[in-house]
A = this chain, B = another copy of it.
Amino acid sequence: MKALIINEQGLQVAEIQQPIVESGKALIKILASALNRRDQWIREGLYPKIELPVVPGSDGCGVVIEVGNELDQSWVGERIIINPNNNWGENPKVQNKDYHILGMPTQGTLAEYIVVPVDRLVKAPEFLSNEEAAALPLGGLTAYNAIVNKGELAVGKKVLISGVGGGVAQFAFQFAIAAKAQVWVTSGKEDVIKKCIALGAQGGVSYKDAKEIKSLGKSVGGFDIIIDSAGGDGINPLLEALAPGGKYVLYGATKGLPSTLNLRNIFWNQLSLMGSTMGSDQDFSEMVDFVKKHKIHPIIDTVFALEEGVQAFDHMKSGNHFGKIVVKPS
């Protein structure tokens, strides 16, 4: 079968052996898969515990072709998405040590076929196209845990989505709009802010401008929830833009570590700084229900053929996208 593989020579399209279904597992014909930053980081050697060669890809929508057990026969022919969690563990709040994400070390979704445990299958929401369904899993899960569980998203809350162009941020934005929160965004791009306003945002400012962020916070009376994956020295102006009692939820640190932290602001205003990453199987199920309930269509930036996989990764690296980058076997 055709697949995108990352090996010592880099990323390339290759012909590899089709995986074989085993007991408790299902063979999926991939209809569409989607990229996450994680995939590009693995390509760049910037992810922890990289094992090569690997077929990356944590997001996929496909059709079940064959199952290993008679009991699972009813899955055959179903259009599904794949829960990208493996071995979350028993604590609903945090993954255990053996946890890993689909697409390294095990084969990921950027291929024509994949074999996954049957308990990872979730029926694809009917109102979503293959591309939209493929775009949902990892970004949707991460956003859900960050904004719904940690942020305690609710009607009317004042929410700031930092770096809204990112894959997770985009879902956090859509979830917040769906939940009837009041939503503001930051982005490095004026046109992305305009798109978000067209989609229901109250407004937005550049994430590069600490003063603008603080003054936006002041003008809205402080945000109840801020969602961020940049970290770095941008963390303090974001924390200063929170309302007393507000929550800053961090699911990444692409700008590195800050050179200080205004602790007095944190304790006096009873702020919370909450780390978040992925989410439990229960969160995945709740996230899909939330998407179905609110008829949320993931935003798609570009669809590439599997053969154009290298261009798809390069497009992600460029950062010139708003919405998910989808890859389809032909």
Contacts and interface: CB of A to CB of B under 8 A. Distances in A.
Interface of A: 91, 93-96, 231, 235, 244-245, 250-253, 256-277
Given A260-B260, A272-B273, 18 more contacts: A94-B244, A95-B244, A96-B244, A235-B263, A250-B267, A252-B267, A253-B264, A253-B267, A256-B263, A257-B262, A259-B259, A261-B261, A270-B274, A270-B275, A270-B276, A271-B274, A272-B272, A273-B273
Contact of A94 (B245, B266, B274, B277): B245
Contacts of A272: 272-275
A263 B258 contact: yes
A165 B51 CA distance: 49
A263 B270 contact: no
B276 A245 contact: no
Contacts of A91: 244-245
Given A244-B95, A270-B275, A260 B257 contact: yes
A94 B273 contact: no
Contacts of A274: 270-273
20 contacts: A91-B245, A94-B244, A94-B269, A94-B270, A231-B263, A250-B263, A252-B267, A253-B263, A256-B263, A257-B260, A261-B261, A263-B275, A267-B277, A268-B275, A268-B277, A269-B275, A270-B274, A272-B272, A272-B275, A273-B274
Nearest to A149: B270
A270 B231 contact: no
Main SS class of interface, A: loop
Contact of A260 (B252, B259, B265): B259
Given A267-B251, A267-B253, A245 B93 contact: yes
A185 B135 CA distance: 47
A256 B267 CA distance: 12
Contacts of A258: 260-261, 263
A245 B99 CA distance: 14
Contacts of A235: 261, 263
Contacts of A257: 260-264
Contacts of A273: 266, 272-274
A276 B269 contact: no
Most buried by B among A94, A252, A257, A263: A263
Nearest to A92: B245
A293 to B, nearest CB: 25
A94 B265 CA distance: 13
Contacts of A259: 259-260
A266 B262 contact: no
A38 to B, nearest CB: 13
A4 to B, nearest CB: 26
Contacts of A244: 91, 94-96
A269 B99 CA distance: 12
